[in-house]
Amino acid sequence: MSTKPSHQNSQERAWKHAADLFSVLVSRDLKILYKRSSLGFGWALVTPLLQLFIFSFVFRRALRMEVHNYPSFVFIGVLVFGWLQGALSQCGGIITSSKSLVTQPGFPLTLLPHVMVSVRLFHFLIALPILFGLLWCQGIRPAWPWFSIPGLLVVQYLLIVGMAYPLASLNVIFRDTQHIVGVSLQLIMFVTPVFYSLDQVPEQMHPWFYLNPMVGLIQSWRDVLLDGNWPNPVTLLTLSVVGITLLIIGRRTFVAQSHCFVEEL
Amino acid sequence: MNALVKADGLGKTFTTKPTTAKRLHLSSLARTSRTADPFWALRNVSFEVARGEMMGIVGANGAGKSTLLRLLGGIGRPTTGTLEMNGRIGALLELGGGFQGDLTGRENAILAAVVAGLLKSEALELLPEIIRFAELENFIDAPVRTYSTGMTMRLAFAVAVHTEPEIMLVDEFLAVGDLAFQAKCNARIAKLREAGCAIVLVSHGMDQIREQCDRALWLRRGEVVACDTAKAVATYYEQEMREESLRRTPETLPLSTASGTPALRKENRFGSMEMEISGVTLRPGPKLTCGAPLAVEIQFQCPATLDSPIFALSITRPDGMICLDTNTRSARIPIPPLHGDGFIQLTIERLDLAAGAYFINVGVFDSNWSHAYDFHWHMYQIFMEGGSAHKGILAPPNQWTMKLA
């Protein structure tokens, strides 16, 4: 407390502090998840691998699903949907389970959804090498359009955080949200082409499917990784607009409600 | 001199909330509880805390102290009034509440420091000093779940005082660690104040308020009763507590305790009688030789469950001079919630009082000293015999030696 920092400096410091806070919270959550398990981060891979195994066995061998490169096809779907599912099924509890942070003076609550979505992003990223290995085994080689992967990640991040904000604030006043979200995600997975292809769905149903942002997103990932094409810019642009709109509205309602969170805890 | 904390007409209401189902109209009976009166947890509270000043907040449970502390911390919004906090706020509200058991002390300390407002680089720089202050050099890389309560609190306190807040909010902390550590904490707090930190302290201990605070604010049912110098407020508060005990003393008080000592209502026996001291046994007896041991057994009857009452005992001379004053709170004896009959015993290894008559006073109090359940004043007498002193209070074993050069 020697000299008062100038306005410019304090602004800079606030950003730096938010970044530091974000990184310590993400690393805290990751450490807590895996610290005492002997498999450690390996657990982040178990679920997608198991799903990959089940889907490729059941659908290819038993149901004779006719999709080219089916294992990597299904693995992309499982990973991309898994990030959404992992994040949204947890976002309900982020306020109620971080009471000690919420009651800390000056703690930026708006950081919590970002922390949680980033923890799931981390899981997604450590599974990516396995996906690349699988693609390589199936004879698919990296192509220039793969450079759009960071863009896809950004769009998906915006979408998930945009959905996480309203769900998190809703769960504080209506605790059943968390359970409803969990059940709905299970259902949504079946109306999202995770383990089947949109081509197998009757043409007249397609507009309905495209109302689900995950459909376009998974499609884009498959275009890039399986076919080596650049993703459809219209799809990506639409998804970004949806994501940013959700994020702005969601964040607004979250901030407007945040002063009541404490009273509900 | 500008105030760091400036509260003007603060008020906070909590509506008795209908259940979620009702609020979302899931139930057709939704309308009934709509117009419930709001409950004023705080009403028209105004005060200021200047740079380097320490303000105590006193009041019974439910008086609004925690609500006020929360509002000051920016948690929740005041319903009425304005609040200005001109500085970085640090809080010692739930010591160690944010710690993660599976992470090490080091990881938790960095996390807590960053959450409290430091940059990670600053936290890393301060870490050695924090660890030294918490006296945890040998355990800092062990998971916090293996720590004792005392170790956890020491770490939490060390982090909080090292983040150099400009305004510090404290909820009764000084039960941290042993006496040496407490002294260190007090010294550190004094240093913070010298650096200009304004401190708001919630406490039930009037001695702590008197010794440490400059001013104090007394809340009762959300309203300010007094806001004055710490000494004055502590005195009013204690006086009111005595009156409260007196007021709660029922008209039909039993005329004597079970052991047959006569008790005169409101003269030598006070209290709400929610819990009763049914008898006091002195061992070996009321006649003692100087330096002999004394055991005082307090029998009690507790018809309804009471949460952690405090037992107190004092020895006074007939003129009121207090020779010994002790209680289960200051001795840190954990008292569980009580129900039914039982007894508690204080053993004094040797009583080195000068010859004469003394009174043993016993009492049992509500868990935050707000009133007495039962207090026996000047009802049990002891007589000390022998001892070399003629005047004075103490008669410890002593001998004169003289040497001529």
d(CA B135, CA B129): 10
In a domain, B264, yes or no: no
Q: Are B211 and B294 in the same domain?
A: no
Q: Are B206 and B333 in the same domain?
A: no
User: What is the model's pLDDT at position B295?
Assistant: 92
In a domain, B256, yes or no: no
In a domain, B398, yes or no: no
- Mean pLDDT for A5-31 is 84
Q: Are B214 and B296 in the same domain?
A: no
pLDDT tens string B31-80? 444 445 678 888 889 999 999 899 999 888 788 888 898 888 888 888 89
**Of residues B70, B88, B90, nearest to A262 (C-beta):** B70
- The answer to whether the peptide bond before residue B284 is cis (omega within 30 degrees of 0) is yes
CB atoms B24 and A25 under 8 Å: no
User: What is the model's pLDDT at position B1?
Assistant: 52
Domain CATH for B340: 2.70.50.60
pLDDT tens string B259-289? 455 555 556 777 888 888 888 888 888 888 8
d(CA B143, CA B133): 19
B102 vs A contacts (CB less than 8 Å): 31-32, 35-36
**Of residues B20, B115, B166, nearest to A107 (C-beta):** B115
Q: Select the more confidently predicted residue: A98 or B350.
A: B350
- Percentage of residues in chain B with pLDDT exceeding 70? 86
Which of A238-247, B147-156, B169-178, B330-339 is predicted with the least confidence, judged by mean pLDDT? Answer: B169-178
Q: Select the more confidently predicted residue: B243 or B58.
A: B58
Which of A42-46, A140-144, B23-27, B159-163 is predicted with the least confidence, judged by mean pLDDT? Answer: B23-27
Q: Are B304 and B171 in the same domain?
A: no
User: Is residue B226 within 8 Å of B236, Cβ to Cβ?
Assistant: yes
In a domain, B394, yes or no: no
User: What is the model's pLDDT at position A4?
Assistant: 43
In a domain, B348, yes or no: yes
In a domain, B401, yes or no: no
Which of A223-227, B260-264, B363-367 is predicted with the least confidence, judged by mean pLDDT? Answer: B260-264
Q: Is B126 on the interface with A (CB under 8 A)?
A: no
User: What is the model's pLDDT at position A3?
Assistant: 40
Q: Are B185 and B86 in the same domain?
A: yes
User: What is the model's pLDDT at position B141?
Assistant: 92
- Provide the pLDDT confidence category of residue A255 given band limits of 50, 70 and 90: confident
User: What is the model's pLDDT at position A93?
Assistant: 80
Domain CATH for B12: 3.40.50.300
Q: Are B346 and B233 in the same domain?
A: no
CB atoms B73 and A105 under 8 Å: yes
**Of residues A13, A24, A36, nearest to B120 (C-beta):** A24
pLDDT tens string B28-45? 444 444 445 678 888 889
User: What is the model's pLDDT at position B32?
Assistant: 47
What's the number of domains chain B is made of?
2
Q: CB neighbours of B163 closer than 8 A, spacing ≥ 6? A: B90, B113, B116, B117, B118
Structural domain that includes position B298:
269-385
- Percentage of residues in chain A with pLDDT exceeding 70? 94
In a domain, B358, yes or no: yes
Please name the residue ranges forming H helices in chain A.
Answer: 7-34, 43-55, 70-91, 99-102, 111-137, 149-173, 177-190, 206-210, 213-225, 233-264
- Average pLDDT of chain B, as a whole number: 82
CB atoms B102 and A25 under 8 Å: no
Q: Are B111 and B233 in the same domain?
A: yes
Q: Are B132 and B195 in the same domain?
A: yes
The pTM of the whole model exceeds 0.80: no
- Mean pLDDT for B347-354 is 89
Lookup: tokens for B346: 């204080």
**Nearest chain B Cα to A36, which residue?**
B102
User: What is the model's pLDDT at position B57?
Assistant: 92
Residue B332, pLDDT > 60, answer yes
Q: Are B65 and B167 in the same domain?
A: yes
- Mean pLDDT for A80-109 is 85
Q: Are B129 and B205 in the same domain?
A: yes
In a domain, B7, yes or no: yes
